[in-house]
Every structure is written in structure tokens, then in C-alpha cells.
């Protein structure tokens, strides 16, 4: 279905895509005051299933709490509305974007006098970097832009404003001909990509930066922790110096949109595995098998829509 024909849920009502508009003086437009999620619904043999919906809702409510937004629905209600939004649109497979933002009201930085708006949109969205990248990997650079220091923008909140930094990283990478950029944290350790977490593989062990390296605590990242352990692969959180990227055996990104995407080169230096390393391959296959419902849902991560 064309996304323009779909319905968007806004504060209790399903409305047509083209009617889901806001006033120019909406607080979030001027001051970045929104929190959001990105979830994926996958086609499975038992019908469409949303992957880790509960974890996404938990993080949405955490992000809202950090910014003192009181969402006027219980988490259970919010989950039900998300399922209904996918159902009403008839998607077999889609990306889902719940967003909560400070709406139209008072102008000025203080957000507390502006009404909160909650909305959920969904649309069909294939591989983030394209199908080929899932096999051959992406070419990336280390960005000259750093992630924000922990006492500036809290990275554990998935807030609209944080993505201004992501946009600078992404635009710089594209301008220099790369697919994506990796940001360091303010201490110079590896943090994450503009829209995903990073993992490196060295001598059979997977490493990823800890939450203290200004990362978003990715739900795919957490999923990879569990799947890697089930595959018998050691996985650890460590602060990662920049040069460890260049000498890694394998590097990959994770995220709801990017799923598990191999990295083939960094700053035009080829990663040893060059295309897709064997551990990346195993983790990616385990991830896609799980989200596609091809294996037993032993962690209760799938929410069936029908
Ligand atoms: N970091 C950033 C900056 C992101 O935008 C995302 C995507 N939401 C992630 C990490 C990965 O998070 P998740 O696996 O929960 O999608």
C-alpha cells in the first residue's frame, strides 16, 4: 500500500495520512521536544508480528520520563493501539513510528505549558542501506562530529533533538561519499553510527561500546547480546579506541531500521573480512530467523497482529 493511503493514529483517532498535520508553532518544531520509537513488523508464517514491541514501549516511556512528559495512556493501551494501527492499515510488513511531542501552545523554551501529542504512523520500509548492503556491507567513515557529552543531551532518551547530531554525522558521511558515519564520544572512544549501534569482532569475540559511551541503548543491540550468547559467541561491552576499528576482523551495525548490516570499510581502509565476516553472518542469520518467526519465540519477542 502507498503510505499516502494509510491511516495515522493521533490522540485517539485514526486520520488520513494527508490530514496528519501540526501547527507551525508546535513546540517540537522549534525546540526538538519529541520522543519517539522505531519498531518493525515482519511477515511470518503466522501473520504479521511486531518485534520486541514491549521493549520499544518501555524505552518510549523512559524517554518521556527523562523529558517529564506524562503519556496519558498505559503502556498496555499504547501497545494495543500500535497493533491496531498496523491492523487497520493491512500491512504484512512495515516500520512503525510512535512519536510523543510537545504540541502547539505557549512559545518559549519551557515545554511544560504545551499539550502533549501522541501519534503512530507506519509504512513499508525495506533494507535501510539497500538489499545489497546486507550482503556486501557499507562503506563508512569516522565522523568529525562527536556524540554529545553525557551531561548535555541524554543518549538513553530517544529524543528528536538528539537527531540533529545524527544529521550532521550522516550529511558529512554522504558528502564525502560514504554510506554512514561513526561518531566518537567526547573522550574519543567509539560511540555509535548516526542511526545504529556498532559492534566489532576480534579473535572470535564480539565487542560493543557500553552505554557510558553516549550511545542509545539499542533494542537490536540487546537482542544481539542474547542471540550471540545462544550461538556460543563471547560478547562484551568495552570502551573501544578508534584504531580498534581499523584492525577489527569484522564490524557490523545494528538497529531496528538497519537490522544487522556488515561494514566493509572504514575511512577507506578495508575491514579484514571485507565483505561479511562469519560471525556477522551468524548473528545476522539468527536475527532474521527470529524476527521472521522461523525459530521458536522463546523470549516472547513477537507480538502477532492478527
Ligand atoms: N543508535 C541510534 C542513534 C539510533 O537511532 C538507533 C535506531 N533507533 C540505534 C542506535 C539502534 O536502536 P534500536 O536497535 O533500538 O533500533
Grid cell of 215 as nine digits: 550511545
CB 203 within 8 A of CB 248: no
- Total number of residues shown for the chain: 306
User: 26 CB under 6 A from ligand 1?
Assistant: no
Region 259-283: mean pLDDT is 94
**Amino acid 196: pLDDT:** 98
Compute the distance from residue 256 Cα to the ligand 1 centre, in Å.
7
- Which residue blocks in the chain are alpha helix, DSSP H? 27-31, 53-66, 75-89, 131-136, 162-175, 219-230, 243-246, 278-291
Please report which confidence band the pLDDT of residue 274 belongs to, taking 50, 70 and 90 as the band edges: confident
Region 176-187: mean pLDDT is 98
**Is residue 185 pLDDT above 80, yes or no?**
yes
Asked about 65 being catalytic, the answer comes back as: no
User: 280 CB under 6 A from ligand 1?
Assistant: no
CB 304 within 8 A of CB 280: no
Grid cell of 55 as nine digits: 521493549
- Which of 158, 170, 272, 298 does the annotation list as catalytic? 158
CA atoms 99, 100, 106, 107: torsion sign: negative
Distance between CA atoms of residues 300 and 194, nearest Å? 29
**Is residue 289 pLDDT above 80, yes or no?**
yes
**Is residue 1 pLDDT above 70, yes or no?**
no
Please report which confidence band the pLDDT of residue 304 belongs to, taking 50, 70 and 90 as the band edges: very high
Distance between CA atoms of residues 136 and 226, nearest Å? 25
**Amino acid 4: pLDDT:** 82
Residue 245 sits at φ, ψ, to 5 deg, of -65, -45
- Tens of pLDDT, residue by residue over 99-139, are 999 999 999 999 999 999 999 999 999 889 998 999 999 99
**Amino acid 127: pLDDT:** 85
Amino acid at each position: 500500500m502507498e503510505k499516502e493511503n494509510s491511516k495515522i493514529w493521533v490522540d485517539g483517532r485514526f486520520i488520513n495520512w494527508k490530514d496528519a498535520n501540526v501547527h507551525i508553532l508546535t513546540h517540537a518544531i522549534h525546540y526538538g521536544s519529541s520522543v519517539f520509537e522505531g519498531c518493525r513488523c515482519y511477515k511470518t508464517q503466522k501473520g504479521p508480528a511486531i518485534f520486541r514491541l514491549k521493549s520499544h514501549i518501555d524505552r518510549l516511556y523512559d524517554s518521556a520520563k527523562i523529558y517529564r512528559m506524562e503519556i496519558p495512556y498505559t503502556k498496555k493501551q499504547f501497545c494495543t493501539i500500535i497493533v491496531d494501527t498496523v491492523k487497520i492499515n493491512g500491512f504484512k510488513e512495515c516500520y512503525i513510528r510512535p512519536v510523543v511531542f510537545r504540541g502547539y501552545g505557549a512559545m518559549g523554551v519551557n515545554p511544560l505549558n504545551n499539550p502533549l501529542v501522541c501519534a503512530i504512523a507506519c509504512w513499508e520500509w525495506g533494507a535501510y542501506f539497500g538489499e545489497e548492503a546486507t550482503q556486501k556491507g557499507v562503506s563508512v567513515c569516522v565522523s568529525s562530529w562527536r556524540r554529545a557529552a553525557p551531561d548535555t543531551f541524554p543518549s538513553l532518551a530517544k529524543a528528536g533533538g538528539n537527531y540533529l547530531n545524527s544529521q550532521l554525522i550522516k550529511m558529512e558521511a554522504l558528502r564525502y561519499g560514504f554510506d554512514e558515519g561513526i561518531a566518537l564520544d567526547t573522550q574519543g572512544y567509539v560511540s555509535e553510527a548516526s542511526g545504529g549501534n556498532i559492534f566489532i569482532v576480534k579473535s572470535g569475540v564480539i565487542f560493543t561500546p557500553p552505554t557510558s559511551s553516549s550511545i542509545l541503548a539499542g533494542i537490536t543491540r540487546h537482542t544481539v547480546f542474547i542471540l550471540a550468547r545462544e550461538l556460543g559467541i563471547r560478547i562484551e561491552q568495552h570502551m573501544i579506541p578508534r584504531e580498534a576499528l581499523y584492525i577489527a576482523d569484522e564490524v557490523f551495525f545494528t538497529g531496528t531500521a538497519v537490522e544487522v548490516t556488515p561494514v566493509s570499510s572504514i575511512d577507506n581502509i578495508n575491514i579484514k573480512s571485507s565483505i561479511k565476516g562469519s560471525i556477522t553472518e551468524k548473528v545476522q542469520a539468527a536475527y532474521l530467523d527470529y524476527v521472521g518467526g522461523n525459530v521458536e519465540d522463546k523470549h516472547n519477542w513477537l507480538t502477532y497482529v492478527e
